[in-house]
């Protein structure tokens, strides 16, 4: 039964059924919001494909990202209450985070600087991989290569945020954490379920998993006994649901509803989003397009076209403009300086206080 539901959510066939409705009201969402969502999705896709091109051109050492997760990530980024400090939302992302960050306002240039390890890279200064963002001004916690460590950290930020909750619940800050399905095998995932749900000490955190049914080359089926990862959250009395993360409308509505619930109650919620993986895990596996995966962007665009919300011409223009922006950003980043050898000790301690024992 559960398998059948999952198949329905992720299969091309079932999704195409969704898109051929004659009167698609897009969940009642406003036209401008839908078009904004579409633009963010296109921008993200163009950006990720640009990053892959940069890797293939030998201008970067490694690519890892999340093409195929636009329908999930963009609504999340649009719904986050962006700002700095515990009175705003915290976002704990993993390396498939570009849709969320594009929707929050990250520029192509900053993403490409990170990809090309320039000293101008605002997230890491050329120290870390692509999509390992860190944006303190927007409470975007540093993306780490070790998987799942972000979940207990999200409980930590949520714990501090709860001190700022008031009766005016709409402004109550929350933490949002994302991760993949394979990583849920890590103990830190279980830690977070426990930390978030202690009776009387519940935390305002939206725990999410993007289930693309792969862990690099290891399939979901071979690694999980539970029907849904979301079932694990239910065992801790956490409000939990499975959604079609390939549908931005369903995602937007579900994420908003759960964020509102968390802001109101101060309690956690859990979303398992079924998503696609369009270019494999990373450049280590070739970063080649997978024709068997459903493309959520093309599907959404087809819906918009069919509903008359955009035209083919509009669409072509949007794609072309972002493509041009990506080319320009690459040229700018290419000309920017690299990190200097004498910078390795910088920011080991705050204020670059001496950390080199040779100088003690």
For other proteins, the binding residues (CB under 8 A) are: 85-86, 90, 121-125, 127-128, 132, 134-136, 141-142, 144, 146, 149, 151-161, 163, 175, 187-188, 191-192, 194-195, 198, 346-350, 352, 354-355, 357, 360
- Give the nearer residue to other proteins in terms of CB position, either 90 or 261: 90
Counting Cα atoms < 13 Å in the Cβ hemisphere of 20 gives 6
CA distance 40 to 273: 19
What is the closest distance, in whole angstroms, from the C-beta atom of residue 152 to other proteins in the complex?
Answer: 3
- Give the nearer residue to other proteins in terms of CB position, either 311 or 345: 345
Cβ(336)–Cβ(115) below 8 Å: no
Task: Report helix, strand or coil for 239.
Answer: strand
Give the distance between the most distant pair of CA atoms in the chain: 73
**CA angle (15 as vertex; 104, 280 as ends), nearest 5:** 60
What is the closest distance, in whole angstroms, from the C-beta atom of residue 348 to other proteins in the complex?
Answer: 5
What is the closest distance, in whole angstroms, from the C-beta atom of residue 49 to other proteins in the complex?
Answer: 26
- Give the nearer residue to other proteins in terms of CB position, either 188 or 247: 188
- Give the nearer residue to other proteins in terms of CB position, either 12 or 87: 87
Pick from 90, 194, 183: nearest CA to 152 = 194
What is the closest distance, in whole angstroms, from the C-beta atom of residue 15 to other proteins in the complex?
Answer: 36
CA distance 120 to 136: 16
The DSSP-derived string for 17-66 is: HHHT-TT--GGG--HHHHHHHHHHHHHHHHHHHHHHHHHHTTSSS--B--
Which residue(s) pair with 209 in the sheet? 272
- Give the nearer residue to other proteins in terms of CB position, either 39 or 122: 122
What is the closest distance, in whole angstroms, from the C-beta atom of residue 308 to other proteins in the complex?
Answer: 44
What is the closest distance, in whole angstroms, from the C-beta atom of residue 171 to other proteins in the complex?
Answer: 16
Q: How many residues does the chain have?
A: 360
- Give the nearer residue to other proteins in terms of CB position, either 311 or 354: 354
What is the closest distance, in whole angstroms, from the C-beta atom of residue 107 to other proteins in the complex?
Answer: 16
CA distance 270 to 343: 41
* Measured CA distances, 115 to 73, 124, 339, 359 (Å): 19, 10, 13, 33
What is the closest distance, in whole angstroms, from the C-beta atom of residue 162 to other proteins in the complex?
Answer: 11
- Give the nearer residue to other proteins in terms of CB position, either 128 or 282: 128
- Give the nearer residue to other proteins in terms of CB position, either 175 or 208: 175
Cβ(38)–Cβ(46) below 8 Å: no
């Amino acid at each position: 039964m559960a398998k059948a539901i999952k198949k329905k959510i992720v299969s091309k066939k079932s999704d195409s059924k969704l898109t051929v409705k004659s009167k698609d009201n897009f969940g009642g969402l406003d036209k401008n919001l839908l078009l904004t969502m579409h633009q963010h999705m296109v921008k993200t896709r163009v950006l990720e494909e640009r990053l892959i091109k940069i890797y293939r051109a030998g201008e970067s050492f490694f690519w890892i990202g999340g093409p195929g997760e636009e329908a999930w990530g963009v609504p999340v980024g649009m719904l986050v209450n962006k700002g700095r400090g515990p009175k705003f939302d915290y976002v704990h992302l993993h390396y498939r985070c570009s849709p969320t960050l594009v929707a929050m306002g990250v520029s192509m240039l900053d993403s490409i600087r990170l990809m090309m390890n320039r000293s101008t890279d605002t997230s890491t200064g050329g120290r870390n991989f692509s999509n390992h963002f860190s944006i303190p001004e927007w409470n975007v916690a540093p993306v780490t290569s070790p998987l799942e460590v972000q979940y207990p950290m999200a409980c930590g930020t949520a714990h501090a945020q709860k001190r700022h909750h008031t009766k005016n619940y709409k402004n109550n800050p929350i933490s949002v954490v994302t991760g993949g399905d394979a990583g849920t095998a890590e103990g830190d995932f279980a830690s977070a379920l426990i930390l978030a749900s202690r009776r009387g000490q519940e935390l305002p955190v939206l725990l999410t998993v993007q289930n693309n049914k792969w862990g690099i080359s290891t399939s979901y089926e071979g690694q999980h006994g539970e029907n849904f990862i979301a079932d694990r959250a239910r065992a801790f009395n956490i409000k939990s649901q499975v959604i079609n993360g390939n549908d931005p409308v369903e995602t937007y509505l579900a994420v908003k509803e759960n964020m509102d619930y968390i802001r109101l109650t101060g309690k956690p919620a859990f979303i398992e989003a079924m998503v696609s993986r369009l270019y494999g895990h990373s450049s280590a596996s070739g970063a080649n397009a997978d024709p068997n995966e459903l493309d959520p962007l093309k599907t959404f665009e087809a819906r918009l076209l069919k509903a008359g919300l955009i035209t083919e011409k509009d669409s072509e223009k949007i794609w072309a403009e972002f493509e041009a922006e990506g080319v320009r950003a690459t040229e700018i980043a290419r000309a920017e300086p690299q990190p200097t050898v004498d910078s390795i000790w910088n920011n080991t301690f705050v204020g670059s206080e001496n950390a080199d024992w040779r100088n003690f």
